[in-house]
Amino acid sequence: MANPTNAAEGRRQMFESFYSVIALVFILVACVELCDASTVVDVYRLIQYDIAGVPFGSRVASLNHHAGSSLFAPGSDLSRTVVIFPLSELNETFIREYIEQGKPLGGLLLLLPRIFHPDNSETVGGHGVSSDKENLKKILVNLEQKLIHSSIHYPVYFAFEDEDLDSVLADIKKNDAAGQPATATTGGYKLIVTSPTPKKLTSPTITNIQGWLPGLKGDGDSNQLPTIAIVASYDTFGAAPGLSVGSDSNGSGVVGLLEIARLFSILYSNPHTRGKYNLLFGLTSGGPYNYNGTHKWLRSFDQRLRESIDYAICLNSLGSGENGLWVHVSKPPENAYVKQIFEGLSDVAQELGLKVGLKHKKINISNSRVAWEHEQFSRLRVTAATVSGLSVAPNLLENTGGLSDNREFVSEDAVVQSVKLVAESLARHIYGQQGKKMEIFADNTSLGVNPFYIKSWLHLLSTTPRVAPFLSKDNPFIMALKKELADHVAEVNLQHDVLDGMFTFYDSTVATLQIYQVASVTFDLLLLLVLGSYLITLFSFLVITTRGVDDLISLFRRPPSRKAKAA
């Protein structure tokens, strides 16, 4: 006769095995959605920042919803849907309702054409830009302004069109057009970005780079030489910090400053051609934020240095100057230094076949808004002018880079001509050759402007995101700028400071998007039913063949109560 204790132990082990198998089935079914990754994509989050405590940009980073397309039915509940929108399909209705008015949305993935990718440098910018590209640029500029000036309570990401994403979007559109949008019931595609809650960047640094070309003093001359400052802000701003390279604003200004430093370093390396002016070069940070770095750089000057500056030339958006440049000033055009600057530029421009206009904008000391870099000099009573391809002072965080400001839309020839204009004008002033038609930086000479140098630096700047709060003080790009300037001028040093507390920025700017093709709940339930039936059948067969039908039946009998056992 079988031992009751052994029989009970065997029954218990069978039940444990059975329960383990069933638990495994549930785990497998629950993971069905996460087993078939369609594609993995690098995505760039919409910037998140505050101005004086007022929130702007996307306030959320993580994403885990089904995908939808622009073909969603009017009135649809999209609070748990990530809408994938190619830039070319954006419409005013969607922008107005879901960006400006803030209707609930699970998330937004904006697909940009490859021409806006920072690494898109196959063509030389500014030549043969088609009307289609210009139209796309206008759409993107308009969209970007809406995004950065809104507070959006769902994650917004940018990605670039490619074959994988096009294929996924085509499937999603097909289902949406058939009236079968992706849901937990119907299945479809799920978009997942795993990201922690964005954190504030504590005390983001801004770094200014300064260098000198000392002038030549005459014998027995103990007076301090006058100084001319050439300045350019090197950082930029855009809707996605990971993509904002600012090829024109202000990559072109940085390239112009480096080339001017290179040209004058050749002249100043020889005592016979060294001018009687000190040249001060400044690459400043914080340009989009009221030129905060320029303000702190100037405040670090002692009174003697500040008083030695005859005037400063600030370089901005030189790549937009195909049709001419503008000289922006704060002092009246009648001012002697302003007249000298403008007339010097006008004379050279006429020889080069360029147009130069003068724009006077009086500054309001009580207003904290600083539209042009030269205004920071003017506030300290230092004569300065900004040379730019832009004719109008930009609003805050506008025309300071952006997603569309890349190599594709920057004219290399315009930068070359702008550099030649400024360098020639400065040289004629330094060497007392104003009004004389003599060419100091003649083409095809050792003093000629080097288009290859300009092209190489434009390429580097056009592939390097430079949103200041996300650049550390020892960032490789900053070190590269310092090294390049040090190759041409003397006494190069860095000045580190903290960005004005009026602006607050948040991290989590770049992420990885995982796209999964998931089955419907109906499919999961059917799969569970089939697997369950199969396992129950297999379990019953094994018990019958090893222990007999009676043992199988006994597994499902109610065990005798303790009272019955005691009796």
- CATH code, domain with 308: 3.40.630.10
Per 3-state DSSP, what percentage of the chain is helix, strand, and coil (rounded to 5)?
40, 20, 40
Do residues 128 and 268 both lie within one domain?
no
- Residue 30 in any domain: the answer is no
Do residues 448 and 329 both lie within one domain?
yes
Sequential DSSP letters for 487-503: TTSEEEEEEEEE--TTE
pLDDT score recorded for residue 33:
44
- Residue 566 in any domain: the answer is no
- Residue 534 in any domain: the answer is yes
Sequential DSSP letters for 192-245: EE--PPP-B-SS-EEEEEEEEE--PPPTT--SPPPEEEEEEE--BB-S-TTT--
Do residues 492 and 534 both lie within one domain?
no
Sequential DSSP letters for 48-81: EEEETTEEEEE----EEEEEE-TTPPTT---TTE
pLDDT score recorded for residue 35:
46
Do residues 241 and 194 both lie within one domain?
no
CA distance to 179, 384, 411, 517, 518, per residue, from 186 (Å): 11, 65, 50, 11, 9
Do residues 190 and 214 both lie within one domain?
no
Q: For residue 188, give the H/E element and its range.
A: strand 188-193
Cis before 250? omega within 30: yes
Sequence-distant contacts of 47-54: CB under 8 A, at least 24 apart: 47/148, 47/238, 47/239, 47/240, 47/241, 47/467, 47/505, 47/509, 48/198, 48/505, 48/506, 48/508, 49/503, 49/504, 49/505, 49/506, 50/503, 50/504, 51/502, 51/503, 51/504, 52/502, 53/504, 54/151
Do residues 426 and 282 both lie within one domain?
yes
CA neighbor of 174 nearest in space, from 34, 69, 29: 69
Do residues 452 and 541 both lie within one domain?
no
Do residues 299 and 406 both lie within one domain?
yes
Domain that holds residue 300: 205-498
The model carries a pTM of: 0.85
Do residues 167 and 94 both lie within one domain?
yes
Do residues 231 and 178 both lie within one domain?
no
- Residue 134 in any domain: the answer is yes
pLDDT score recorded for residue 291:
97
pLDDT score recorded for residue 49:
97
- Residue 450 in any domain: the answer is yes
- Residue 18 in any domain: the answer is no
Q: Count up the domains in the chain and report the number.
A: 3
Residue 165 near residue 500, CB atoms below 8 Å: no
What is the residue-level pLDDT of the chain in tens, covering all 567 positions? 445 555 555 555 555 455 455 555 455 545 444 445 568 999 999 999 999 999 999 999 999 999 999 998 888 899 999 999 999 999 999 999 999 999 999 999 999 999 999 987 544 444 456 788 999 999 999 999 999 999 999 999 999 999 999 999 999 999 888 888 877 667 789 999 999 999 999 999 999 999 999 999 876 665 789 999 999 999 999 999 999 999 999 999 999 999 999 999 999 999 999 999 999 999 999 999 999 999 999 999 999 999 999 999 999 999 987 888 999 999 999 999 999 999 999 999 999 999 999 999 999 888 889 999 999 999 999 999 999 999 998 899 998 999 999 999 999 999 999 999 999 999 999 999 888 888 999 999 999 999 999 999 999 999 999 999 999 999 999 999 999 999 999 999 999 999 988 999 999 999 999 999 887 555 556 667 777 777 777 766 666 676 666 665 666 666 666 555 554
- Residue 353 in any domain: the answer is yes
- Residue 234 in any domain: the answer is yes
The residue type at 432:
G
Do residues 234 and 347 both lie within one domain?
yes
Residue 551 near residue 6, CB atoms below 8 Å: no
Do residues 330 and 454 both lie within one domain?
yes
